[in-house]
Amino acid sequence: MYMNMILSAVSQMSSQMSSQLQAQSLEIKEMETSLTTKLSHQITELSSQISAQTSAQLKEQDARISQVTSQIAEVSTKISEEQDKIKTDVEELKDKIKTDVEELKDRFRDLQLNRQMVSTGLVKVNTPSFDGTTPFQIFKLQFEKTADTNKWNAEDKVAALFVTLKGTAAEIL
């Protein structure tokens, strides 16, 4: 009998423990489900936040890139305009310089052609002649003074010298 009681008590305890284990098992499963659901919601929420932040940062970067691209295009346009302006200015300067050079050439040519006419308006000193009877040093001094007064260049001096030599002095040439 005593054994039956012990068996009955053990059976009862076993039954109670089994019930408690089942209750605890259900409680653990509910907690697991609840935690899994909470973690899933938190992961989804964090993913959404990260995605939103990433999207916002990408939009911000796109805006910055667009702004920089726009600034680069603007600077490039300004540089092109300045290059065109400089090219135009250089061409205008070239044309002006060519025109000025041509005008100077024309003036120089006119001055060379009209030099004789200008000098004829001034008092012209007659060239001394040399026939060998006058000392050469005196002739040379007179010739140089005449050339200076008449403002002769080297070509004019040579031409005048040929004309002034007479007699035996002219035969040397």
pLDDT of residue 116: 54
* DSSP per position, 79-107: HHHHHHHHHHHHHHHHHHHHHHHHHHHHH
Indicate if 73 and 84 belong to the same structural domain: yes
Indicate if 50 and 133 belong to the same structural domain: no
Of the three residues 104, 121, 138, the one that is the final residue of a domain is 121
Indicate if 95 and 134 belong to the same structural domain: no
Indicate if 33 and 80 belong to the same structural domain: yes
Helices (H) and strands (E) in the chain, counts: 4, 0
CA distances from 68 to 63, 65, 71 (A): 9, 5, 5
Mean pLDDT of 27-45: 92
pLDDT of residue 122: 60
How far, in Å, CA of 105 to CA of 171, rounded?
Answer: 40
Structural domain containing residue 66: 21-121
Mean pLDDT of 141-160: 91
| Whether 101 contacts 132, CB under 8 Å | no
Enter the pTM of the model.
Answer: 0.39
Residue 41 counted as domain residue: yes
**pLDDT band at 128; cut points 50, 70, 90:** confident
